[in-house]
Structure 1
Amino acid sequence: MHTWLREVGRGAKGARSLSYDEAYAAAKDILDGRATDAQIGAFLMAERMKGESLDELLAFVRALSSHNPKPLCAEKGVLDCAGPYDGRTKSLAATVPSAIVLSAYGVPVFLHAPEVLPPKRGVSIKSVVQALGLPIGCTKHQTDRFTFVDPEEVHDNLRALRSIREQLGVRTLLNTAEKLINLSGAEYLVTGVFHGTAMEKVSELVARLTYRRAMVVQGVDGSEDLPIHRASIVTLIEGGRVTKHRIDPGALGLESDVGAVRLSLAEHVEHTQAILSGKEDRFRNMVLLNAGARLWLTKCANSLVEGVETAREIIDSGRAWEWFCSLVQKPELLPAHRNEI
C-alpha cells in the first residue's frame, strides 16, 4: 500500500492519478486486508484532495464487484435504483414510491442503502422502507419485483469500511463506487450525482459497466430523483453511448414550486402513503415524473410522456396502493381505510 500512497499523496504538484491496474491493486490491498486502517484513511483522503480519475473509480467498482455475493435478484430486467447512502436532507425520497409504482406495473426494482453514512447523514432510504413496513432483505414474499437490501448485510467489505468512513466524516470515492457494484445483477440502472461537473465522469464510468440501459440524474440531494421545481439534464447510456436529454417538468404539466425541503422520517412516510393511495399531495408530481422516467428507461414506455401517463394510471386506478398493501409486513402501519390518509 505504501507504493500507491506515495503516488497519490505527493501534494498538489506531485500527486498523480493511478492507472487502472494500479488502482485495482490498491483496491485489492484494501479489500483483502493488506492495508491498515491508517493507510486506508490516508489513501481515501489523498484521492479526495487529488480528485478521483475515471480509471480509479472504475477499478474500485470492479474490485468491490469481485467480492460480491451471487446476484441477489433472480428476475430478469431488474432496475437498480442507486441512490446516495448518506440519505436525504433536502427532498422527499421519491425513489421509494416510484419503486412501488414500477413494481406494481411488473418491473422488478432493487433498492439498496445501509444505515446512514457521512457526510450528509440525512434520512436514510433504509429507515423509510422500515417505517413503511416494507420487506427488507431477499425474501420470496409475493415476488422478487420489489427488493430492498442493506448492502452491508451482504457485502463484508462495505461493512468493514464503515468505521473508517465514519471517522473521516467526508465524501470519498467509495460514495460513488459503492452505488455501482450491481448487487442485484440488474440490467437497468438509475443513479444520481450532486454537481453537474460530475455528470460526465459518472456517465462515462457507467458506460464502461455492464448495464443494458442506464440513466444518470443530477438530482436533489445528489439522488437519482428528478426535481420538479426546475428543468434538469440527464444522460442516457446504452450500448456504451452517452446522450444528453433535457427534462422539463413544466412541459409535462408537472411543474411545482417544491424545491429543497427538509422532511422528518414521519413526513417521508406520510407523503409516500398519500401519493400511493391516490391522494393529492405536493410531491405527487415528483413521483409521477420519476416513475415515468424509469418506465421509459426500462422500455416499458416509448417516451417520457407515455411513462408519466402510465404512472398516473397505476396510481389513480388503485393498483399502486393495492400492491403496496400486499407488500407491507406490518399491517398496523397501514391506515385502517385508504381514505383516512
Structure 2
Amino acid sequence: MGISQYLKEIGRGVRGARALTREQAADLFAQVLDGSVSDLEIGAFCLAMRIKGETAAEMAGFLDATEARLNAFPASDRPLVVLPSYNGARKLPVLTPLLALLLAREGLPVLLHGMRTEARRVTAQEVLLALDIPALEAPEKLANGTLAHISTAQLQPGLARLLAVREVVGLRNPGHSVAKLIAPSTGPTLLVGSYTHPEYLEVLCGTCALRGMNALLSRGLEGEVCADPRRAPRYDAFVHGQHLPVQAQQPGTAPEVPGLPSSIDAASTAHYTRAVLAGALPTPPALAQQVEYIVQLSRKVASNTSAARTA
C-alpha cells in the first residue's frame, strides 16, 4: 500500500489517528528506508508519528523492516553485546565508552553503534576516537573481549538518512527509537537499551516481547545506555522475549563521583575512562552493577540459545 494511505491512518491527530498493524508498519517503514517516498512524505510521517506515538506492534514492524535491510555482523562466539549511542553528553560526560570497555574486559564481544543527532553534544564515538579506537568501515566478526564501533550509515543508510531529518524538523522521529533497538548480527545478541521517559518503558517491553528479544533495559544517563554514575536505576531484562525483572529503582543520589570530570569534552572523558580502567580511579558502583547484570544476562542468553539448538 502506498505511504499516502498510511499517512491518512496515522495523521489524524492524537484522538483520530489509528494504529497500524505490525505488517502495515513494516511495509511503511520499508518504503521510508528504501527511499521510495518523497522528502515531503517522510516529513509528514515523522510529524504524524511524533504526535500519535508508536505502539509496540508498530515498533516491532519498523524493526522487522530495518533488520531485513541491515548490514549485519557475523555471529560471534558469545552473544554480541549491542550498545546504541545516539544522545551523547549534555551535562555529564558520556560514559558509554567506559561501559563498553568494562564489558570487553569481561571477555564479551561488544559493538557500539551510532551517529551524531544533535550538533552541540559530545558523542561516544568522539570519546572512542580520543581513546585511539578507530571506527570500523564495515561489519566483521568480533572476537571475545573485543570492542568495536561503527556508524549507523554503515549498518543501514536509509536509517541514517531518517535520523538526519531531525536536523531539519528539530524533533525526534521513529528512526531514533528503531536505531536504539536493532540487533545488527546474524547470531545471538544482547541489547543494552535505555529510555528517558518512564512511560515509554511499556512500549519498549511490549516490543521486546513481540520480537523475542534479549535485552537489558534501564533509564540511562541523558538518554545513553550507560547507567547514571550517581544512581541505581530500575532494570528489566528480556531473554527470548520473556520478561525478567532484575532490580527496582533504588532511592538516593550520590553527592559526587570520585574523579568524574566537570568538563564533558572528549579528551577529558577519555582521560577519566583510562584512569578508571587502569585502577587509578574507582569504577562508579552504578556502572559496576550494570556490568555485572549484563555479564549474567549474557550467560543466560548463551545457555538458552544452546538449549534451544539441542532441543
Q: Taking structure 1 as reference, are residues 163 and 220 closer, same or farther at Cα in structure 2, changes over 3 Å only?
A: closer
Give, in whole Å, the separation in 2 of the partners of 1:250 and 1:33: 47
Aligned to 1:293: 293
Does the alignment pair 1:107 with 2:108? yes
Q: Count matched residues.
A: 292
Instruction: State how far apart, in whole Å, the 2-side matches of 1:104 and 1:79 are.
Output: 13
Instruction: After TM superposition, give the deviation of residue 144 of structure 1 in Å.
Output: 7.1
- Shift of residue 141 of structure 1? 9.2
Given the alignment of the two structures, is residue 62 of structure 1 paired with residue 67 of structure 2, yes or no? Answer: no
Structure exhibiting the larger radius of gyration computed from Cα positions: 1
Q: Which residue number corresponds to residue 44 of structure 1?
A: 46
Which whole-Å CA distance do the structure 1 matches of 2:99 and 2:153 have between them? 24
SS at match of 1:177: helix
- The 5 A counterparts of 1:59-98 are 59-72=61-74, 74-83=76-85, 85-98=86-99
Distance in 1 separating the partners of 2:57 and 2:249: 33
Residue 69 of structure 1: how far off its partner (Å): 1.7
Pairing of 1:121-140 with structure 2 (within 5 A)? 121-137=120-136, 138=139
State the distance in 2 between where 1:50 and 1:140 align: 39
Cα RMSD (Å): 2.7
Partner of residue 10, structure 2: 8
Distance in 2 (CA, whole Å) between partners of 1:66 and 1:216 is 23
**Residue 257 (str. 1) matches residue 255 (str. 2):** yes
Take 1:141 and 1:187, find their aligned partners in 2: how far apart are those partners?
12
Question: Is the CA contact (8 Å cut-off) linking 2:220 and 2:227 kept in structure 1?
Answer: yes
The reply on whether 1:208 has 2:205 as its aligned counterpart is no
Residue 34 of structure 1, aligned match among 36, 46, 58:
36
Deviation of 1:216 after TM superposition, in Å, equals 0.5
Distance 1:41 1:8, change over 3 A: same
| Alignment check: 8 A CA contact 2:105 2:145 kept | no
TM-score by length of 1: 0.77
Q: Which residue of 1 aligns with 2:171?
A: 170
Tell me by how many angstroms 1:222 deviates: 2.1
| Kept in 1: contact 2:212–2:242 (CA 8 A) | no
Identical aligned residues as a percent: 24
Within 1, Cα distance between the matches of 2:142 and 2:60? 35
Per-residue deviation, residues 128-176 of structure 1 (Å, max 9, x unmatched): 1111111321568987722211121232212333442321221111111
Aligned partner of 1:41: which letter?
G
Distance in 2, matches of 1:3 and 1:250, equals 48
Q: 1:192 to 1:163 in 2, by over 3 A?
A: closer
Q: TM-score, normalised by structure 2?
A: 0.83
Alignment check: 8 A CA contact 1:82 1:192 kept? no
Q: Offset of 1:109 from its aligned partner?
A: 1.0
Bigger mean CA deviation after superposition, 288-297 or 27-36: 288-297
Task: Tell me the CA shift for residue 86 of structure 1.
Answer: 2.7
Q: Specify the SS of the correspondent of 2:48.
A: helix
1:180 Cα deviation (Å)? 1.8
C-alpha distance in structure 1 between counterparts of 2:281 and 2:184, whole Å: 35
Q: Deviations over 1:203-222 (max 9, x none)?
A: 221223344x3211111212
Output aligned runs, 1:158-307, within 5 Å: 158-185=159-186, 186-211=188-213, 213-246=214-247, 256-258=254-256, 263-280=264-281, 284-299=284-299
